Amino acid sequence: MLQLINTIISRPSGAIGLTLTALHLAIALLAPLIAPYDPTVQNADAVLLPPSLEHWMGTDTLGRDIFSRVLHGGRLAISVTFAGAVIATVWGSFAGIIFGTVGGRIDEYFMRLVDAFLSVPWLLFLLLIISIGGAGPSTIIPTLGFFYGAAVLRVIRGAAMQVAARDFVTAAKARGEKLWPILTREMFPNLSDVILVEGAMRWSWMLLAFSSLSFLGFGATPPTPDWGLMVAQERGLLSTAPWAVFWPCLALSSLIIGINLLADAIGKALGIDRATAMAM
């Protein structure tokens, strides 16, 4: 583990990625302790103030402190998308490993189904589901998890097929070992690196997707501080109050960039060829 971290931070991009991600996670955890103001308290006398000593990043249209809101603004998005990414990675890689190992007809038919599923315009389908279930995390998390899981499945299955073709797996199959021991003893240990990197990448794209949802009015609901929602609500004020747009945008982008760089660096450190494993 320590060695992995060392390898990651030996490259500048890896060091940046790790720092950004760790910083964001720390801020999200500690936001209630370090934020100077309550992120939802409105002040009719301090509307759209530019950045000052009192309000480091200025205030928004309801007189709320943007610095405090930016500190809090990742909590919902990070937790929702992290949960979504975990679900996606778990079911996607589990199914992917099985189908990659089993192969044959079942695999072929099932993959056709997955491919068909991937051709559903996902954002539109997501909107439909959210219209049914309401815009709460209890709807968004499983939906994101399910959708992104299908893409994970595709990638992991591809990687699993390569592993399954290797000598030690064919040998195990020849020994007549059952499927489950092969999965846990041979397949999973050889795929865990790919799964880790894949999961991290999915997470970063899910963050972006969540902000799009917020923009369209299906993600976070006001007055929750959320970067995507903050940008969406104030974007019309780019010319009069650029600070209200800039800071949440910077926070969102830097987190996504951080996770991306980190995932890349982990991949490189573990010797994973992202080129063949990457999909959108």
Partner 1 sequence: MPTLILRRFGFAAFTIAFVSMIMFAAVEALPGNVCTSFLQRLAQGPRLERCIEQQGLDRPAIERYADWASGALKGDFGYSLKKRKPINEVIGERLANTALLGGLATFLAIPLAVFLGIVAGVRRDRPLDLSLSGIAMLAMTIPEFVTATALIYVFAIVLQWFPAVTVMRSGMGFFDMLPNVVLPVLVLSAVLIAHIMRMMRASVIDVMASDYVQMARLKGVPERQIIRRHVVPNAMIPALNVIALTVAWLLAGVVVVEKVFNYPGLGTLMIQAIYDRDLPLVLSVALIFSAIYVAVNLLADLAALMIDPRLRRGGH
Partner 2 sequence: MKNSLFLSAAIALASTAASAQTLRIPHELGYGGSESLDPISPQRFYEAIQNMYSRLVRQGDDGRPSPDLALNWETTPDAKEWTFALRPGVTFHNGNTFTAEDVAFSLMRTQSETIQSPTKGVMEIIDRVEVVDDMTVKVVLKQTHADFPLLVMDYRIKMLDAETCGHNLDALCESGNGTGPYKMVELDALGTTTLARFDDYYGGLPGAENLELIAIADQDARVAALQAGQIDFIYALSAEQVPLFANNPNFTVQTVPTGRWIGMIMNTTVAPFDDARVRKAIRMSADRDVLGKLVFGEDNYITNCDHPVWPGDQYRADIACERDIEGAKALLAEAGFADGLTVELFVSDITEGAVRMAEVLQNQAKDAGITIEMVRVPADGFWSDVWMKEPFFATGWSQRPADQVLNEAYSSTSAWNESAWQSEEFDAGLEAARAELDFDKRKELYGDLQRQIWEDGGSFIPVHLKTVRAFSSNLSGIDPVEDFSIRYENLTKEAD
How far does CA 84 lie from the centroid of its chain? Answer: 7
Q: Please report whether residue 280 would count as binding partner 1 according to CB under 8 A.
A: yes
Q: Please report whether residue 208 would count as binding partner 1 according to CB under 8 A.
A: yes
Q: CB neighbours (10 Å) of residue 274? A: 14
Cα distance between residue 31 and residue 39, in whole Å: 10
Number of H helices, E strands in the chain: 12, 0
Residue 212 in contact with residue 69, Cβ under 8 Å?
A: no
Least distance to partner 1 from the beta carbon of 66, Å? 16
Contacts of 8-12 with CB under 8 Å at 24 or more apart are 8/262, 8/265, 8/266, 8/269, 11/265, 11/268
Q: Please report whether residue 221 would count as binding partner 2 according to CB under 8 A.
A: yes
Least distance to partner 1 from the beta carbon of 216, Å? 7
Amino acid at 102: V
Residues paired with 59 in a beta bridge? 65
Kindly tell me which of 190 and 211 has the beta carbon lying closer to partner 2.
211
Query: What part of residues 227-266 is at the interface with partner 2 (CB under 8 A)?
Result: 234-237, 239-241
Which positions lie near partner 2, rule CB under 8 A? Answer: 42, 44, 47-48, 61-62, 131, 134, 217, 221-223, 234-237, 239-241
Residue numbers of the site for partner 1 (CB under 8 A)? 108, 112-113, 115-125, 127-129, 131-132, 204, 208, 211-212, 215-216, 228, 231-232, 235-236, 238-239, 245, 249, 252-253, 256-257, 260-261, 273-276, 278-280
